[in-house]
């Protein structure tokens, strides 16, 4: 999925101002795949939304020090979303491959049965039981059922996760954080984090706007 172009970035403006514009475009891009991505059949929209979440996540991880502390939390939320949509996508890719293998084996068995039935007027049960791949179907069909069931559960988790983010005001919280600029204390915190001092705990001490 090609990323949206970011226009009107002023190279002479402060770094945070340019990053804010870029992140807003990526945030809009993320939301552009709704509501299609929330449909069980919206595989392409979910795949594109995963890529958009990855782009937004990487931007936030690199630039969170420029903004309010909720930007760090937003990066974590995007990683969770990206990982979940990636699992859904894996199922979407694998299931057709498994079903395609079943279809191929079935065709081979049908050809083998036709060969064994040469000269016969009809196909008898014994001929079908002797098909060379008869024992293979059950394992592949069960694996296909597993993938289908797992995909359904993962999709439900994704939909619930997204609705929860929306309910808690994820977009508004991130936009609020993008409008903030860190003061001396935040700059010191970033310096400590860059040096590995308390970096794991500091980003979780963020108090986002109400309900986020």
Per-residue model confidence as pLDDT tens digits over 59-87: 999 999 999 999 999 999 999 999 999 99
Instruction: Report the distance separating Cα 188 and Cα 170, nearest Å.
Output: 26
Domain boundary assignment for the chain:
15-205
pLDDT at 184: 57
Tell me the whole-structure pTM to 2 decimals.
Answer: 0.78
Q: How far apart are CA 36 and CA 105, in angstroms?
A: 35
pLDDT digit string, tens, across residues 140-180: 999 999 999 999 999 999 999 999 999 999 999 999 999 99
For all residues of the chain together, what is the average pLDDT? Answer: 85
Spatial distance between the Cα atoms of 35 and 45, rounded to a whole number of angstroms: 9
Q: What is the pLDDT of residues 116-127, one digit of tens each?
A: 877 777 887 777
Task: Give the model's confidence band at 210: pLDDT under 50 very low, under 70 low, under 90 confident, else very high.
Answer: very low
Residue 183's pLDDT is: 67
Residue 73: how many other CB atoms lie within 10 Å: 22
Mean pLDDT of 36-57: 97
Q: How far apart, in Å, are the Cα atoms of 137 and each of 42, 67, 142?
A: 29, 55, 8
pLDDT score recorded for residue 201: 37
Rg over alpha carbons for the chain, rounded to the nearest Å, is: 26
Q: Could you tell me which of 166, 122, 150, 134 has the C-alpha nearest to residue 27?
A: 166
Coil, strand or helix: which one is 120? coil
What is the band of 50 on the pLDDT scale with cuts at 50, 70, 90?
very high
């Amino acid at each position: 999925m090609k990323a949206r172009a970011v226009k009107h970035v002023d190279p002479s403006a402060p770094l945070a101002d340019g990053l804010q514009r870029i992140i807003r475009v990526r945030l809009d891009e993320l939301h552009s795949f709704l509501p299609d991505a929330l449909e069980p059949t919206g595989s392409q929209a979910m795949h594109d939304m995963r890529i958009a979440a990855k782009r937004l996540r990487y931007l936030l991880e690199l630039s969170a020090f420029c903004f309010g502390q909720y930007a760090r939390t937003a990066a974590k939320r995007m990683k969770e979303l990206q990982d979940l949509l990636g699992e859904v996508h894996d199922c979407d890719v694998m299931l057709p491959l498994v079903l395609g293998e079943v279809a191929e084996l079935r065709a081979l068995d049908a050809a083998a049965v036709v060969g064994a039935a040469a000269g016969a007027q009809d196909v008898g049960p014994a001929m079908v039981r002797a098909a060379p791949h008869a024992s293979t179907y059950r394992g592949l069909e069960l694996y296909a059922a597993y993938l289908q069931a797992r995909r359904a559960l993962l999709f439900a988790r994704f939909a619930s996760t997204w609705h929860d983010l929306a309910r808690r005001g994820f977009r508004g919280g991130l936009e609020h954080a993008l409008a903030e600029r860190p003061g001396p204390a935040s700059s010191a915190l970033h310096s400590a984090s860059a040096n590995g001092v308390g970096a794991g705990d500091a980003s979780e001490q963020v108090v986002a706007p109400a309900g986020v």
